[in-house]
Structure 1
Amino acid sequence: MVKKPWRIIPRPLLETILNNHAQHHRVPQPLILHGPRGVGKTTLLLDRLLTDWNKAPHFTGYVDFAQSVEGQFPWASWSSCPPPSISDCRKSLEQCLESMAERGVRMGTITAQQVFATLSKWHGLTGALRTVLLAGGSASKSPVPNNRAASPAVLWDRAIFAMSARCDAAEIDRILGFGEKEKVSLSVEEASYFKEAVVALKLAKKVLDVQQGWRANAIAHMNRTGVFSRSLTHSSTDWPCLLLELLSQAAEVDHFQPKLVLNNIEVLKHATVNDDISVSGPLYHDSLIWRIIALGANERILPVILVTSDSYYSYEAFLEFGYKDIFISRETFGWTPQEAKMHMVPDYFSHKEWNVIAEVLGPNPRHLFELYALKQSKYYEKITEDKASTFEDIVDAYLAYLQITVLNPAMDRALEILQKFAIDVCNGEVSKDRLRFGAPWRCPPQIDDPILRMEWAKLQLMDFVQALVNTEFGVNYRIDYSEEILDDPSAVALLEVGLLYAQRDPPFLRPISRGIERCIVRWFVQQQMQLRFPNKIQFLCHRIIRGRYYRHLMVQPGNKY
């Protein structure tokens, strides 16, 4: 058996679409690249696009919020992983934008005057600049001039002068990337110009930090009580949005064309608060995206690409942030079976092996890569030594791996979500519209019994899977403008744990891959076999009286993924 290394296969159409968007120096809308897990979105960016997007005059900042998540698993939804802290996510974003702004300073497109004008447009600076000057004067033990009658512009110049005296020259040279040769070639005026711009960025961050410190008690109160304040929420994204505005203003065709790629943007929604000046993860997420939209609509913004595997961004996010075209949507599902066969046969799999793969797993690129890695392993060599064994045994072993490591933990998490839904119903926290007459989930246990809640949750999940099986795992959730299936807590749970995906166009609700679909069916059969006789009778009665039936939402023939 020849061990051929796996290669990254180009996707000309999608690459052309993304390249066309990235070639603009400013755009009116952010772009969302979304699709199920395992279709190669991150691979496409890292191995095919970012190299060209970092060739002069282009410069791309890349932030992967999943790097803040501990114990990452490639198939797991971020809602099922330990949540990162919002401060870590914010730090990674700010460091990326600061490095981009420093590049803008080195290119001469971001100046101290521009920083002051942009900062003063959105913020009152007098009190914060006085605080900075007082703190600097007490630290240096030098007399502080009277700043009471001074204008913000005068205070800014004084603060720039004071910070310049305290800044380390070596640090400024490091930020500007100047060696001895570059410093010698610069005139005194040019060196002063660059230094002033670097100090202005530091001062702007210091001013915003001072103002954020004043709001610390108010933010802590907001987090504690659950009330909402738009101004406090937006204050948490003041610094990254200021840098985005500066970079957008500095963008110039064929000279400096910055771009920003935010991968796994949905991680922000699950981040937790670990300090007194941070808002919750969902608020930070919404504020950041909303201000990116506003900047693009009002003044145009550098190309921002949001990458996600959460189907919330395929349709629901568009409505929550305004209307169905508020983002540029680019949805990818990897390869079609015909495309995958063209790339995989005969380089990686034989025709006979491919027929098995297409039937059992589908063309999902991550499935194909993991199966090929298993095929190259010593386990495959050991299996093939047994003449009675076939390639189907390798596929069965891979399905068992998916069942144990991916699907069963996700189903356990879905059961937890359904149990929490039952508790919320008992506490009156679920709207009556969602508990309409005849809904299968309308009557959870009314007593505080974990065993009863677990049995109810399992019955609901089995009923939902049975309904999906009856529709051949293809549901149009917007046919005749009917979105009733999205009221189903079982559907919401499976979407949250990442086993189902609600795609945008056409609007189908389906498993993320054919391999995951088979694992869901295996889970359902296993649960049926484990039911005790009373529970089996209860399940059958539920199916007859209150069972889900979604056959009227079935997809049209020929649209099966």
Structure 2
Amino acid sequence: MNQKAWRIIPRPLMETVLNSHAQQPRVPQPLILHGPRGAGKTTLIVERLLDKWNTGPHLTGYVDLAESIKENHPKHGHSYPWSSWYNCPPPPLQSLRVQLEQCLESMAKKGINLGLISSHQIFKTLNKWHGISTALKQILEKDNVSGAIMTSRRKDLSLWDRAVSKLSVRCDLEESVGKRVVSLEEASYYKEAMAALELAKEVISLQQMKRGNAIKELNRTGGFSRTLAHSATDWPLLLLELLSAAAEIDYFQPKLVINNIEVLKHAVLSDDTSVCGSLYHDSLIWRIIALGANERCLPVFLVTSDGYYSYRAFMDFGFPDIFISREMFGWSPAEAKLHMVGDYFTSSEWSVLVEVLGPNSRHLFEVFALKLSNHFQK
């Protein structure tokens, strides 16, 4: 039996298209990579492109939302489902939010380590969209016995500097500067930026807590509120805006890949601290679109097998060209035969496979893995 290891077949044209988009520091639109299941979209990103997109000035955050479906993901020792992700138990929205936010936070910390995201920039971006005085006073009041902070008429920036100074004492120097040897002043700068990032997260968290009852009522009635939906995506969007503003060609070029974005739309709530999955999904995508249109956004790739993103999403989000849409098709029978027969299957085996399964690359890989297993020998 042929024991040749399975190899990843390049897709030169699609790789060129995606690389061209990824090479730009900021872009006006997100790119949706869609196509039938098993056509090789995830393989193309993970096996062919992701390493290149994490070398030199490039930094790519990769979030596979389907990882939370533990019964049907290779990360947990299982195979991908042969049918849609919608037929799998929906994951909790909270775990998907944590996945996305942790990815963006790690990217933002990289930007801080490169000296591109400062405490002042975080304040400026946060203060542009949020009234932060009350939250800052609450944070400062925690360690103050007197009521001076609450009655003070200090400007927001003064409150911000005091809160950052308080939090920077708790920041880990190694996390701020890594293994580099830096001066005391430089170390202080990095620690302040790290503290500012934590402070911004705490401010947004406090503001969302104040909307807790409204969100609970919204979930109970099944209504719609753009304001409450956007409040749930405030933190990831702040991080995206900071990263986009920090992007510099040939120095720091961040990008984000969200695989299986459709899983987010059907995520379930485990509590009433957030809006439902569909509202969160729509708010996240809408705000990425708005950031790109208004100020340019780092390249965002949304990867999906759901036909909704091929034929319907552009209508729901505004107009036909609101996304850059790239469809990836599977092999034709002739293309698949060229790659498969001889190396992996005999002509007689191929005749049966292509008739039963078609030239779907993932299905062929799973059949080939079965062929090499002990089960096939039996």
- Place the TM-score, normalised by the shorter chain, in its bin: over 0.9
Identity of aligned pairs, percent?
Answer: 61
**Residue of structure 2 equivalent to 1:338:** 334
**Residue of structure 1 equivalent to 2:233:** 237
**Residue of structure 2 equivalent to 1:506:** none
**What is the distance in 2 between the residues matched to 1:376 and 1:294?**
49
TM-score by length of 2: 0.94
Q: CA deviation at 1:145?
A: 4.1
Alpha-carbon spacing, 1:158–1:377, altered in 2? closer, same or farther (3 Å): closer
TM-score by length of 1: 0.64
Alignment of 1:81-480 (within 5 A): 81-137=88-144, 145=149, 147-165=151-169, 167-168=170-171, 171-173=172-174, 175-176=175-176, 178-179=178-179, 182=180, 185-382=181-378
Q: CA deviation at 1:366?
A: 1.4
**What is the distance in 2 between the residues matched to 1:288 and 1:148?**
36
- 1:114-157, CA deviations, whole angstroms, 9 ceiling, x for partnerless residues? 1011000000011111111112335xxx8854653111111111
**What is the distance in 2 between the residues matched to 1:244 and 1:178?**
23
User: In 1, are the aligned partners of 2:177 and 2:187 still within 8 Å (CA)?
Assistant: no
69-78 vs 58-67, which moves further: 69-78
Q: Does 1:27 align with 2:27?
A: yes
354-363 vs 2-11, which moves further: 354-363
Equivalent position amino acid for 2:271 in 1: D
- Give the alignment's Cα RMSD to 1 decimal: 1.6
Alpha-carbon spacing, 1:379–1:199, altered in 2? closer, same or farther (3 Å): closer
**What is the distance in 2 between the residues matched to 1:30 and 1:372?**
36
**What is the distance in 2 between the residues matched to 1:198 and 1:378?**
52
**Residue of structure 2 equivalent to 1:52:** 52
Q: CA deviation at 1:324?
A: 1.4
Larger Rg: 1
Equivalent position amino acid for 1:228 in 2: F
Alpha-carbon spacing, 1:381–1:164, altered in 2? closer, same or farther (3 Å): closer
User: In 2, are the aligned partners of 1:110 and 1:197 still within 8 Å (CA)?
Assistant: yes
**Residue of structure 2 equivalent to 1:548:** none
Count of aligned pairs: 371
- 1:327-358, CA deviations, whole angstroms, 9 ceiling, x for partnerless residues? 11111122122221111121112233323333
**Residue of structure 1 equivalent to 2:4:** 4
Equivalent position amino acid for 2:160 in 1: W
Equivalent position amino acid for 1:317 in 2: A
**Residue of structure 2 equivalent to 1:470:** none
**What is the distance in 2 between the residues matched to 1:234 and 1:145?**
30
Q: Match of 2:70, SS?
A: coil
Equivalent position amino acid for 2:248 in 1: E
User: In 2, are the aligned partners of 1:70 and 1:81 still within 8 Å (CA)?
Assistant: no
Aligned equivalent of 2:86, options 68, 71, 79: 79
Equivalent position amino acid for 2:355 in 1: E
**What is the distance in 1 between the residues matched to 2:247 and 2:105?**
15
- 1:486-539, CA deviations, whole angstroms, 9 ceiling, x for partnerless residues? xxxxxxxxxxxxxxxxxxxxxxxxxxxxxxxxxxxxxxxxxxxxxxxxxxxxxx
**What is the distance in 2 between the residues matched to 1:77 and 1:70?**
15
**Residue of structure 2 equivalent to 1:387:** none
**What is the distance in 2 between the residues matched to 1:315 and 1:148?**
55
Q: Match of 1:76, SS?
A: coil
Equivalent position amino acid for 1:161 in 2: S
296-305 vs 186-195, which moves further: 186-195
Equivalent position amino acid for 1:36 in 2: P
Equivalent position amino acid for 1:158 in 2: R
**What is the distance in 2 between the residues matched to 1:270 and 1:74?**
16
- 1:98-128, CA deviations, whole angstroms, 9 ceiling, x for partnerless residues? 0000000001111111101100000001111
Q: Match of 1:287, SS?
A: helix
User: In 2, are the aligned partners of 1:260 and 1:303 still within 8 Å (CA)?
Assistant: yes
Alpha-carbon spacing, 1:56–1:126, altered in 2? closer, same or farther (3 Å): same
Q: Match of 1:5, SS?
A: coil
User: In 1, are the aligned partners of 2:39 and 2:330 still within 8 Å (CA)?
Assistant: yes
User: In 2, are the aligned partners of 1:222 and 1:228 still within 8 Å (CA)?
Assistant: yes
Q: CA deviation at 1:207?
A: 0.5
- 1:231-263, CA deviations, whole angstroms, 9 ceiling, x for partnerless residues? 111000000000000000000000000000001
Alpha-carbon spacing, 1:46–1:143, altered in 2? closer, same or farther (3 Å): same
**What is the distance in 2 between the residues matched to 1:148 and 1:253?**
43
Equivalent position amino acid for 1:349 in 2: F
Q: CA deviation at 1:360?
A: 2.9
**What is the distance in 2 between the residues matched to 1:374 and 1:97?**
38
User: In 2, are the aligned partners of 1:172 and 1:198 still within 8 Å (CA)?
Assistant: no
Q: CA deviation at 1:188?
A: 1.8
**What is the distance in 2 between the residues matched to 1:22 and 1:131?**
41
Q: Match of 2:144, SS?
A: helix
- 1:134-193, CA deviations, whole angstroms, 9 ceiling, x for partnerless residues? 12335xxx885465311111111111122223x14xx242x23523xx2xx312221111
**What is the distance in 2 between the residues matched to 1:147 and 1:15?**
59
Equivalent position amino acid for 2:321 in 1: D
Q: Match of 1:18, SS?
A: helix
**What is the distance in 1 between the residues matched to 2:177 and 2:5?**
38
**Residue of structure 1 equivalent to 2:16:** 16
Alpha-carbon spacing, 1:347–1:123, altered in 2? closer, same or farther (3 Å): same
**Residue of structure 1 equivalent to 2:36:** 36
User: In 2, are the aligned partners of 1:159 and 1:203 still within 8 Å (CA)?
Assistant: yes
- 1:428-470, CA deviations, whole angstroms, 9 ceiling, x for partnerless residues? xxxxxxxxxxxxxxxxxxxxxxxxxxxxxxxxxxxxxxxxxxx
Equivalent position amino acid for 2:125 in 1: T
Q: CA deviation at 1:227?
A: 2.1
User: In 1, are the aligned partners of 2:91 and 2:268 still within 8 Å (CA)?
Assistant: yes
- 1:258-313, CA deviations, whole angstroms, 9 ceiling, x for partnerless residues? 00000111111111112232100000000000000000000000000001111111
Q: Match of 1:136, SS?
A: coil
Q: CA deviation at 1:381?
A: 3.7
